[in-house]
Amino acid sequence: MINSFELLTIKQASEWATEYLHRNVTPSNISYLVQYGKIKKIGENGKTLVNIGDLKRYYQSYHGQREIDWKAKLGEDLNWVLSFDYLKEADTTKHVHRLHPYKGKFIPQLVEYFLDAHTDSFKKEVYFQKGDIVLDPFCGSGTTLVQANELGINAIGIDVSAFNVMISNAKIGKYNLAELRREVNKITCALNKFISDSNTVKFETHLLAELQKFNNRNFPSPKFRYQVERGEINEEKYGKEQAELFLPIYLKLVKQYEIQLKQKKCDNFLDKWYLQHIRAEIEFVHDLVEKVKDSNLKKIIKIILSRTMRSCRATTHSDLATLKEPITATYYCSKHGKICKPLFSILSWWERYSEDTILRLADFDKLRTDTFQKCLTGDARTINIFSKFRRARNKFDVLLKKQKIKGIFSSPPYVGLINYHEQHAYAYDLFDFERKDKLEIGPLSNGHGYEAKKSYVQGVSDVLNNCKKFLTEDYHVLLVANDKYNLYPIIAEKAGMKIVNQFKRPVLNRTERDKGAYSEVIFHLKGK
């Protein structure tokens, strides 16, 4: 019998854990725990040993128990190595990956795992090497391009959305950061001057003072939260009552300072979801951005403005991602446990995101490799990748002719989940980008019915059939998908490919409102 102080080899540990948990635990599972510091590595004559007591403690811990619970719900084939449960949010949103919010993107570590030949010593197959070219035909916000650069791999992205292309290329762009800071500071100074004598500033200062008095009296911290937790206060009922009590104070100030809340028209997203003064500031900054002479700097400053706009929509703090109805008055905020107000100026967000963007670009510059990445605007079902670069006549065109594209790493849209153009409607309105919603594959507006699935299968298979014309003969296609409708075997068949492997991974970092066990699969496809 093994005692709690006994040392085990990796193989012995996997056998013990299999018996202890009544499920299969492989040597790779144990090695993962050692590699990421979940259990202590003990070396003896060059051999890795682990303490059985450490193993027991891990499997009884939160993380260990979560792995057990999720495998019970989702199946023993769940690859916990791909959970990346050791990462903090700062790791998954590192440097330029957080330049702009984007629904439906994968974490950079997932890309790195499959692109980097040295990421995991237990990965049996290597798909890409330094100097290769990888393609992402559903480029989104450019995660694959950024990680390819970090790893010394060339990359091409394709996206039908002009705004997505701008985000992707902005992330991988090279900038004179000192000049960027000067341009941003000029705009910030001008914005400060624009709002300095505004009635809106005086109104908001007065409103904040009234809110502070009211909230201190009616939502004392931490007493209020404690009473809500103990069920002594019905939060929804009390919050609504207090919001109604404060509303007359708010409306009196609106009248006193002659504040126009709503815009006179409601023709588009900008008209509907922004208060009048916010809209005026956005237009003011936009006009200044358009005057920036350096086109490269202009693009990254547009990203800062777009990110600012997203945070300044007329909605509650808890509904930024859902946008139920425009908010033009004070309201009870369940997120902060007090009465909150709409935003009346973009200045604080503009300043915060300007500084954050410059810092993130500087961080990425430290990791950047001398490789080529570019996102193309177009429909991946029909685009001729080679002709796009032949027109450019640069050194990458020579490389592309010489070695072609090694493979694909991408996450196609999921069936009926997201309207990709609509999530950035504010940017399309302001920057006057052409919308191509009808070219989206599997949009939310199509639903999940038979015709939607049929159209989705045809769309993704058409992309693969078109893109494989530009791939090497021994290509690798890796697609990230939650295939709950079992469509990818059909897609592979229609694309003249075969699924040679599947990696089922738990998705741990989801929204606060949906914490259920959830998985997605990385399908590895090759030519028949």
Residue labelled with tokens 């001057």: 193
- Token pair of 357, please? 């963007």
Omega before 222 within 30 of 0, i.e. cis = yes
What is the rounded CA–CA span in Å between residue 129 and residue 162?
A: 30
* Residues 6+ away with beta carbon under 8 Å from 367: 95, 149, 150
- What is the predicted pLDDT for the residue at 403? 87
* Sequence letter at residue 1: M
Q: Where are the alpha helices (DSSP H) in 366-413?
A: 385-392, 395-403
CATH superfamily of 89-173+370-527: Vaccinia Virus protein VP39 (3.40.50.150)
Give the pair of three-digit tokens for residue 410.
């991408």
Between the CA of residue 510 and those of 29, 52, 519, what are the distances in Å? 24, 33, 11
> What's residue 499's pLDDT?
97
CA pair distance 239, 242, nearest whole angstrom: 5
Q: Provide the whole-model pTM.
A: 0.85
Among 104, 125, 87, 167, CA closest to 481: 104
Which parts of the chain register pLDDT below 70?
Answer: 1-5, 36, 44-46, 62-63, 119-124, 320-322, 390-393, 509-515
Give the integer Cα–Cα distance in Å for 406 and 472. Answer: 6
C-alpha span between 211 and 233 (Å, rounded): 21
In the chain, where the domains are located: 7-60, 89-173+370-527, 177-359
pLDDT tens, residue by residue, 133-190:
999 999 999 999 999 999 999 999 999 999 999 999 999 999 999 999 999 999 999 9
